[in-house]
Amino acid sequence: MDFINAIVVLTNFTIIPALAYGSQLALGAIFVTLIYAVLRFANFATGDMMSFGTMFAVLLTYYFQSIGLGLGFLPTALLTIPFAIIMMILYMLLIDKFVFSYYRIKKSPPVQFAMVSVGVMFVTQAIIRIIIGPSDRRFLDGEKFILKATEFKEMTGLNEGLTLKSTQAITIVVTLIIVSIMFWFLNKTKTGTSMRAYSDNEDLALLSGIDPKRVVLITWVIAGILATVGGILYGLDKSYRPFVYFNNMLPIFAAAIVGGIGNPFGAFLGGYVIAFAEILITYAYKRFIAYLVPESMEPDSLMQLLSTDYKFAVSFSILVIVLLIRPSGIFKGKTI
């Protein structure tokens, strides 16, 4: 019984949250990797672009709630996803047309692109500040829990409860759907193949009649979907604080690099690697161990490797270690 209790504690506090958090990171990491593979630069505006898309979801959720439109037990925010995606894509295309395309035609080096994206990041932050302000907002409605701790205890008679928040389940399911569709698109469709070809060998792609403008357009469309959905899922799960997304860029970049930058499947797995590392290293194992060892050996300390305040240090360390030992990432990079 104690053993099962230990497993339940671990699942409840690490595995389920890590799967949800990992999914959110994975979407961001695929976004980073896709932009890197096709447009060939590290987009530092990633976090704020996710925030930008989420902002529309928050505003539209308030509007839909005010006119009484909802999805019952599901969050209203799900209903706003298509609209938020459209706004996000329009914004990205606008930025691309007025900012990035100029440097693309000039064939600027990637470093210059990265610096330009820092500028885009500041502008995006400012726009968010003007439209919605910096404060914390909750926009989750509908049923909060699929499985409550007390219900689980009653059902199983265990000491420990297992909770499954609806946002966690939604995050995992939506991520799997989006990512599967994206991989199907990249690998099985003519347009997806042409994107991979363009990423692999731009000159030869041009000589084969692939239109670079179309490839860029489709890349932004996919990027817009990933950024918006990733941002909304994160906002639903935690809360929407516009500038938290900027901080999330560190684990997102770490995930993209761990997975081999330019490799979307690597980025997808990299998201979970980073999420599990952050959560497992900052989790306090006291209760878990207490179930497994005799009472006399119960630990006095929290049995925590690092305080949760340092969770970004974990992703930063992983990033540095990967860059030192295996710079191409766990999976070989530069391919979509």
Q: Which is nearer to other proteins, 201 or 304 (CB)?
A: 201
What is the closest distance, in whole angstroms, from the C-beta atom of residue 260 to other proteins in the complex?
12
| Rounded (10°) CA dihedral 278, 279, 281, 286 | 170
Q: Which is nearer to other proteins, 101 or 193 (CB)?
A: 193
What is the closest distance, in whole angstroms, from the C-beta atom of residue 199 to other proteins in the complex?
8
Q: Which is nearer to other proteins, 185 or 316 (CB)?
A: 185
Distance in angstroms (rounded) separating the CA atoms of residues 234 and 315:
18
Name the nearest CA neighbour of 120 among 29, 188, 39. 39
**Are 45 and 120 a contacting pair, CB within 8 Å?**
yes
Q: Which is nearer to other proteins, 197 or 217 (CB)?
A: 197
What is the closest distance, in whole angstroms, from the C-beta atom of residue 215 to other proteins in the complex?
11
What is the closest distance, in whole angstroms, from the C-beta atom of residue 208 to other proteins in the complex?
5
Q: Which is nearer to other proteins, 150 or 191 (CB)?
A: 191
Distance in angstroms (rounded) separating the CA atoms of residues 26 and 232:
13
Give the DSSP letter string of 99-145: IIHHHHHTT--HHHHHHHHHHHHHHHHHHHHHHT-SS-B----S--E
What is the closest distance, in whole angstroms, from the C-beta atom of residue 9 to other proteins in the complex?
44
What is the closest distance, in whole angstroms, from the C-beta atom of residue 197 to other proteins in the complex?
5
Chain residues binding other proteins by CB under 8 A are 190, 193-194, 196-197, 200-201, 203-210, 334-335
Q: Which is nearer to other proteins, 175 or 194 (CB)?
A: 194
What is the closest distance, in whole angstroms, from the C-beta atom of residue 97 to other proteins in the complex?
21
How many of the other CB atoms lie within 10 Å of CB of 206?
12
Q: Which is nearer to other proteins, 286 or 334 (CB)?
A: 334
Sign of CA dihedral 170, 184, 326, 33: negative
Distance in angstroms (rounded) separating the CA atoms of residues 82 and 151:
35
Q: Which is nearer to other proteins, 190 or 295 (CB)?
A: 190
- Locate 266 and state its tokens: 């690597």
- Locate 149 and state its tokens: 């701790």
DSSP secondary structure letter of residue 296? G
Give the DSSP letter string of 192-245: HHHHHHHHH-HHHHHHTT--HHHHHHHHHHHHHHHHHHHHHHHHHHS-B-TTHH
What is the closest distance, in whole angstroms, from the C-beta atom of residue 116 to other proteins in the complex?
25
Distance in angstroms (rounded) separating the CA atoms of residues 239 and 242:
9
Residue 240's beta-bridge partner residues? 137
Q: Which is nearer to other proteins, 206 or 305 (CB)?
A: 206
Residue 71's beta-bridge partner residues? 74
What is the closest distance, in whole angstroms, from the C-beta atom of residue 266 to other proteins in the complex?
13
